[in-house]
Amino acid sequence: MALVLTFLGKGGIGRTTVAIASARQLAAQGKRVLLLGQDSSPAWILQVGISQGSEPNSPQALAPNLQVMQLQTAALMEKVWEELKKQEAQYLRTPFFKAVYGQELGLLPGMDHSLALNAIREYYASGQYDVIIYDGDGDQSTLRMLGAPEIFSWYARRFRQVFAESDLGRTLSPFLQPIAASVLNVSWTGGDMFNQPAANQATNLLDQGRAAVANPNRVAAYLVTNDKPEAIASAKYLWGSAQQVGLTVGGVLVNSAREGQNGAIDAEFEPLKISLIPEKIAEDWQPLMQAIPDFSQAAQAPQPIRIDTAERKVYLFLPGFDKKQVKLTQYGPEVTVEAGDQRRNIFLPPELRGKQVTGAKFHEGYLIISL
């Protein structure tokens, strides 16, 4: 089971430098490492130290146990489109995308992160790597990418339920099933028309993604900052925002750090472990590699959410926010928490589902919701 790592912080803070040092250190420890770069510019290639002009989306060996790949969105799109056409041919009697070719598709906003997430999933499932390091934007776009499985699963679950319980759904269901049976390569005589192989496969992938992000032994993030106030503020904001997508932040890496610098930073990020990363000099990676923390300890950091069914309470860890920045609502069967620019629907266990919120308070970085 691989560990997926990513780094969050203000632009220009040195996340790529930290990602490369981490990849080199883990590879030196005997781990099979894949470093994925979202930046498609030549600057990333030069910084990492791989050759230009290689085959797109093809891992290159950088050192023993270490492979590096620059994600090229256009080429990823072609690959995914061909897979979509195979799925369409499998489940539809008369495929309609077969005459559309991936090479002619333009890229829409947000596709780069969706395709990157799919690439991470595929390399994770391959079993070829012990650690996959994603060097992305390190901001809200990275968090939304990692939170996509939970968000999409909510949309699918919620709208499916609303449609099934509506007068329109009950009226159309007897007519939709025979129509769908004539279009799809499936047949049924009753039951849930959405409970078919294609829908089940998509649901399973989303559930697997949600479970992976929620498990710090499988997916974890680390904050990168320096001693500048704007860098610290950005890191704290991303720390709290990461909790909203269920992502564990395992620690803080202070880049280009000087001895004695971490006193004030410790207080800002309590109780996370602080690691001081020295400034890189020329091509000497060794001092940085030796300062890299033990990423296997990420699970010891505070978890984003804990639900106590006996106490009928939900504990949300929201560092960096105060009660004025958090909005709690309950319009549907789930509790919605909005903090910063992130919104999370809390999927309650059966024992608490449908219960009304009776109170909420902040205590030591936690939003405690009583039901």
pLDDT in tens, 124-177: 999 999 999 999 999 999 999 998 888 888 887 778 777 777 877 777 666 666
pLDDT in tens, 338-350: 987 888 888 888 8
Half-sphere CA count of 74, side-chain side, radius 13 A: 7
Long-range own/partner contacts, residues 201-207 (CB < 8 A, 24 or more apart): 202/156, 203/153, 203/156, 205/121, 205/149, 206/149, 206/150, 206/152, 206/153, 206/156, 207/149, 207/153
Q: How many Å separate Cα 97 from the centre of its chain?
A: 29
Q: Which of 19, 49, 25 is nearest to 289 (CA)?
A: 25
Number of C-beta neighbours around residue 162 at 10 A? 12
The whole-number pLDDT of residue 314 equals: 92
Which amino acid is located at 296 in the chain?
A: S
CA distance 57 to 171: 48
Which amino acid is located at 169 in the chain?
A: G
Which amino acid is located at 201 in the chain?
A: Q
Q: Which of 239, 294, 309 is nearest to 268 (CA)?
A: 239
For residue 240, give the 3-state DSSP assignment: helix
The DSSP output letter for 353 is T
CA distance 291 to 268: 20
Q: How far is CA 174 from CA 158, 182, 183, 184, 186, in A?
A: 21, 14, 15, 16, 16
The H-or-E segment that residue 44 falls in is helix 42-48
The whole-number pLDDT of residue 185 equals: 62
Q: What is the CATH number of domain 305-370?
A: 2.60.40.790
For residue 362, give the 3-state DSSP assignment: strand
pLDDT tens string, the chain, 371 residues long: the values are: 899 999 999 988 999 999 999 999 999 999 999 999 998 888 888 888 887 766 767 899 999 999 999 988 888 888 887 877 877 777 677 777 777 877 887 877 888 888 889 889 999 999 999 999 999 999 999 999 998 888 888 887 778 777 777 877 777 666 666 666 665 665 555 555 555 555 566 677 777 888 888 899 999 999 999 988 999 999 999 999 999 999 999 999 998 766 555 567 888 898 999 999 998 888 889 999 999 999 999 999 998 999 999 999 999 999 888 888 888 888 877 888 998 788 888 888 888 888 888 988 988 889 999 99
The architecture that CATH gives domain 3-81+84-91+99-151+209-294 is 3-Layer(aba) Sandwich (3.40)
**Residue-range domain boundaries for the chain:** 3-81+84-91+99-151+209-294, 153-204, 305-370
The H-or-E segment that residue 338 falls in is strand 335-339
Joined together, the tokens standing for residue 327 give 């909005």
The reply to whether 3-81+84-91+99-151+209-294 and 305-370 are identical in fold is no
Long-range own/partner contacts, residues 159-166 (CB < 8 A, 24 or more apart): 160/194, 164/192, 164/194
